[in-house]
A and B are shown apart, each in its own frame.
Chain A
Amino acid sequence: MSFEIPEDRRYLESHEWAHDRGDVVRVGITDFAQDELGDVVFVELPDEGDTVTQEDEFGVVESIKAVSDLYAPVSGEVVDVNEELFDAPELVNDDPFGEGWMLEIDPDDTDELEDILTAEEYEDQIA
């Protein structure tokens, strides 16, 4: 099975993606991760205004069969949360790189993204 891995993003080994959108970094989990989890039924995310630290936990995603912690790919302040996921967590399965996004972070330092995996490196990891 092959998985979508957009090249315009960076990745954590724990399967979160980070998309630098200029003023904010949008965060979600990968196609591979949602496939491994199966049907996502619940997400727990921080509130707007909270701060997160790179590679620290920021929330939880639960499928019917498993619970997984979520890790921040970049440090900064949470400036938006995808509240649609509270009522429709299946968006994480349906469109993990699009409608299933989770957070937007105002990064302290976008150079942090250089420290995590490129699409190619992430592809090697899940191969």
Chain B
Amino acid sequence: MPLSKPPLWDHHGDRDAKFTEFGGWDMPVEFDSIQTEHAAVREDAGIFDVSHMGQLHVTGPDATALMQRLTTNDVSQLEAGNSQYAAITDDDGIIIDDVIVYRLPDEAAGGDGDPTYLFVPNAGTDERTHERWVEYRNEWDLEATVDNRTDEYAMFAVQGPSAPILVDEASEESLSDQPRFSITAATVAGVECLAARTGYTGEDGFELLLPWEEAETVWEVFDCQPCGLGARDTLRLEAGFLLAGQEFDPESNPRTPYEAGIGFAVDLETDFVGRDALAAIDPDELEERLVGFELIDRGVPRHGYDITSSEGRVIGTVTSGTMSPTLGRPIGMGYVRSEFTEPGTTLQVIVRGQSKKARVEQPPFIDTV
């Protein structure tokens, strides 16, 4: 199956970006160097093309009810122009995906008075998520329209301490006083966009949703470091954020939100698919949970490496690891047996057959907004 391409695929190629397959998309992984791009976002600003992320649009009289029953957080608490982080779980409470759910401001909601939601599933999951929403809508006989608009929206993340200034300069509206997790209609580089005060780097910034065909106009107005998915991965790991396919995967790494450390996004007062299974779990009695760790010995932890106790017993697996560009030391995340999750606990990570000392450290590894 041919890979999907973001709208600026040629443009990125002209800039000598390197590409990688991610979720069925051919995406820029590196423009200059991961360390250069990473540092730009921590110290100044960078722009990411994240057009591979899905965009699903839900509206109608029962839109809130549909979203409430298919995501773990309390959608009814969302006011127009706000967003929340949530998981999508199956009947067993296993994470299928994690998403940001935006309730669109009235001026972007279609004008018929119904609440309108835009949510952003991970790359390559938009079609199956769309099917899920339609199937449950039909089963529950809810009045809501569900559209997959992944191919209509380009999405750019402008991230870093200088990002709000850059977005302000590029937009007709004043956006830098927008609160975290808000979303508003904005005119950026003369293009009508949605501007959300969200991101996945641990830094301040915006995510801009814009018409696919206007991508170059908006991208070009930002005079800052272009960044690829490589830097996005090191930035999100330093911030302790999950990556689909690594920290959770319904097939290869089935995890509940409690194991994955996102219990804050579960509201058991609401009735959602997976709710009863999660309600039956005592979060204090989990067998395994996700931890962060720092590798003390020389080496780099990688996805899939075993984690052992000091005695050599296998107690877990690394889900993500890297040499932290900000900290200059190797960090990672992984699932381990609960008795080994206390910060400061000594572990061993098996790096190509060699046992390397590590210490549990609660993410985030850096200060985040």
How many Å lie between the Cα of A44 and that of B234 in the bound state?
22
* Contact (Cβ within 8 A) B352 A39: no
* Contact (Cβ within 8 A) A64 B35: yes
* Contact (Cβ within 8 A) B230 A38: yes
* Contact (Cβ within 8 A) A1 B300: no
How many Å lie between the Cα of A35 and that of B16 in the bound state?
12
User: For residue B233, which residues in chain A have a CB less than 8 angstroms away from its CB?
Assistant: 65
A residues 18-62 in Cβ contact with B at 8 Å? 38-39, 41-42, 44, 60, 62
How far does the Cβ of A47 sit from chain B's closest Cβ, in whole Å? 14
* Contact (Cβ within 8 A) B302 A64: no
Which bucket holds chain B's interface residue count?
A: 10 to 19
Given contacts A60-B352, A64-B230, A64-B325, contact A39 B35 (CB under 8 A): yes
User: For residue A60, which residues in chain B have a CB less than 8 angstroms away from its CB?
Assistant: 352
* Contact (Cβ within 8 A) A64 B234: yes
Q: How many A-B residue pairs have CB under 8 A?
A: 36
A126 beta carbon closer than 8 Å to chain B:
no
* Contact (Cβ within 8 A) B30 A38: yes
How far does the Cβ of B228 sit from chain A's closest Cβ, in whole Å? 10
How far does the Cβ of B17 sit from chain A's closest Cβ, in whole Å? 12
How many Å lie between the Cα of A65 and that of B34 in the bound state?
9
B residues 310-369 in Cβ contact with A at 8 Å? 322-323, 325, 352
21 contacts across the A-B interface (CB closer than 8 A): A38-B30, A38-B33, A38-B34, A38-B230, A39-B33, A39-B34, A39-B35, A39-B325, A41-B300, A41-B323, A42-B298, A42-B299, A62-B300, A64-B34, A64-B35, A64-B322, A65-B30, A65-B230, A65-B233, A67-B300, A67-B352
Chain B residues near A (Cβ < 8 Å):
16, 29-30, 33-35, 230, 233-234, 298-300, 302, 322-323, 325, 352
